[in-house]
Amino acid sequence: MHVHERNPKRTLITILLFALVIVFGWITMKKPRFKYALTPQQTVDMVINHQGCFHPFELDKALKSKSGDVVLIDIRNSFDYAKGHIPNALNITATKLLEEENIKQLDNWKKNSVKVVFYHDDQLQANGTWMLFRQIGYSNAYVLLGGYEYYTLNKNNLTKEKGTCLKGSPGYDFAEVAKKSASADAGAAPQVKKKVKIRRKKKAKTASGGC
C-alpha cells in the first residue's frame, strides 16, 4: 500500500500547497520593464536608410524656435558637456537614461509628440542609444547626423550644407564627371596602335657525341 493511500489528507494538503506556491510565484513575478516594438534587423535597416535621423538644417530651426517640440539630449559625460554643448541641450548620460525618473520624462515627451534628439561627439557613438530607444517603442527618438563635432565645425552655417550626404544627396556628382570624361574622349584624336614585333629566340645547338 502506498503512503498517499494510507494518508490521503496529507497528500491533498501537499498538492494544494504546491499549487499555491506556483500561483504566488506567477503573481509576484516581475514583468519586463520594456517591450520591444522593433527587431534588431528593423533598427539596423533604419540606420542604413537614414530613417529617424535629425539633420543639421533641422537643428538650426529647432535652436531658433521656442515651441519646445524638440529636446536635445547630450549623452556624453558631464566633463565633456561642461567643456561645450549645443545650446539648451540636457545632459543625461547613456547609462542613466534608463533610470525610472528619466523614463517617466521620456514617456511624457512621447505622449506630447516631442522629438527627442540624442547626440554624442559623432553619430556612431550615439547610434546605440538611439537604436535601443527605437526598439523599445520610442518612435519620437532621433539621432543627430554628424554629432557634436559636426555642429561645432558648422554651427554658423547649418542651413547651407546642400550637396553633402547629410541631406541625402551626393557631394560629388559622379555621373556628370563620367559624362565630361566621355565627351573629352570622343573629341580627342584616335590613337594609332603600334605594331608589336615578336622576336623568336633561336634554339641553342646541342653538343654532338656521347660523354
- 133-137 mean pLDDT: 89
Q: Is the dihedral of CA 155, 158, 161, 167 positive or negative?
A: positive
Query: What is the three-class DSSP state of 53?
Result: strand
- pTM (2 decimals)? 0.61
How many Cα atoms sit within 13 Å of 98 on the Cβ side?
Answer: 9
Nine cell digits for residue 56:
543639421
DSSP secondary structure letter of residue 138: -
The pLDDT of residue 165 is: 45
pLDDT digits (tens, 9 = 90+) for 139-173: 999 999 999 999 999 888 887 654 444 544 444 45
* Mean pLDDT computed over every residue of the chain: 76
Per the DSSP assignment, residues forming a β-bridge with 54 are: 144
pLDDT digits (tens, 9 = 90+) for 110-124: 999 999 999 999 988
pLDDT at 208 over 60: no
pLDDT at 109 over 70: yes
How many angstroms from the chain centroid is the CA of residue 58?
A: 19
Residue 91's pLDDT band (cuts 50, 70, 90):
very high
pLDDT at 11 over 70: no
